[in-house]
Amino acid sequence: MAMEKNKVKFGLNKVHYAKITSYDEEGVPTFAKPVRIPGAVSLSIDAEGEASNFYADDGVYYVINNNSGYTGDLEIALVPLEFATDILGEKLDEKGVLTETNTAEVSQFALLFEFSGDKNKIRHCLFCCSASRPATESSTIEDEKEVKTETLSLTATALNSGLVKTKTCEKTDAEVYENWYKAVYMPNLAAAVQSGKASAASVKA
């Protein structure tokens, strides 16, 4: 049964990461089970790359889509221990002390999250992300306590297959929607439903 269509969106919740553990010979990733990142405050990502026009015959002859993914920031209460070790490459020793080294190797991951809507949640997945180390900062307590958050700078790029991002909508299968945070959903674009008119890439024949 189709979900109702949203008119607006707001909020941020259920942020998860799913580490990319390996790639096969064709560049298809294997993802670990998604892990919750609690304390999500805000997410802001900007699209990288713009469409450019090729002109011929006194008009737009071809439109080139330059999709270079996204860059932006994820603000959270605190970076979880699991994310620090799984993704940022920090080491937890036998005494329970977390250490950062200059040889740490960061790992790529899928980022899953959802926005609220007036009718239902909109669930997203960025397939191939990397994150930089957050700044270390705080300040003395004055009359009132002020919570200091941590921010991860994100870069999201395409997989070898070209996949960048996917999200649910009012037509999403109920089982896919309910299992969104159990495993990274990989779309079947060969069976994608086509709608609308022909692409602007074929403006002139």
Q: Give pLDDT tens digits for 137-184.
A: 777 787 888 888 999 999 999 999 999 999 999 999 999 999 999 999
pTM summary value: 0.85
Assign domain 9-202 to a CATH class. mainly beta
Quote the strand ranges of the chain, DSSP E.
9-23, 29-31, 35-36, 40-47, 52-56, 59-64, 70-76, 91-92, 98-99, 109-117, 122-131, 150-157, 165-167
Predicted pLDDT at 1: 53
Alpha helices in 50-200 (DSSP H): 81-86, 174-178
Q: Is the pLDDT of residue 82 over 50?
A: yes
Distance CA 203, CA 54 (A): 11
Whether residue 192 has pLDDT greater than 90: no
Cα 17 to Cα 181: distance, rounded to the nearest angstrom: 9
Q: Which residue has the higher pLDDT, 190 or 127?
A: 127
Query: Considering only 5-9, 18-22, 81-85, 104-108, which range has the smallest mean pLDDT?
Result: 5-9
* Domain residue limits, the chain: 9-202
Instruction: Give the residue from 197, 190, 193 showing the smallest Cα distance to 169.
Output: 193
Contact between residue 186 and residue 165 where contact means Cβ atoms under 8 Å apart = no
pLDDT digits (tens, 9 = 90+) for 29-44: 999 999 999 999 999 9
pLDDT at 195: 53
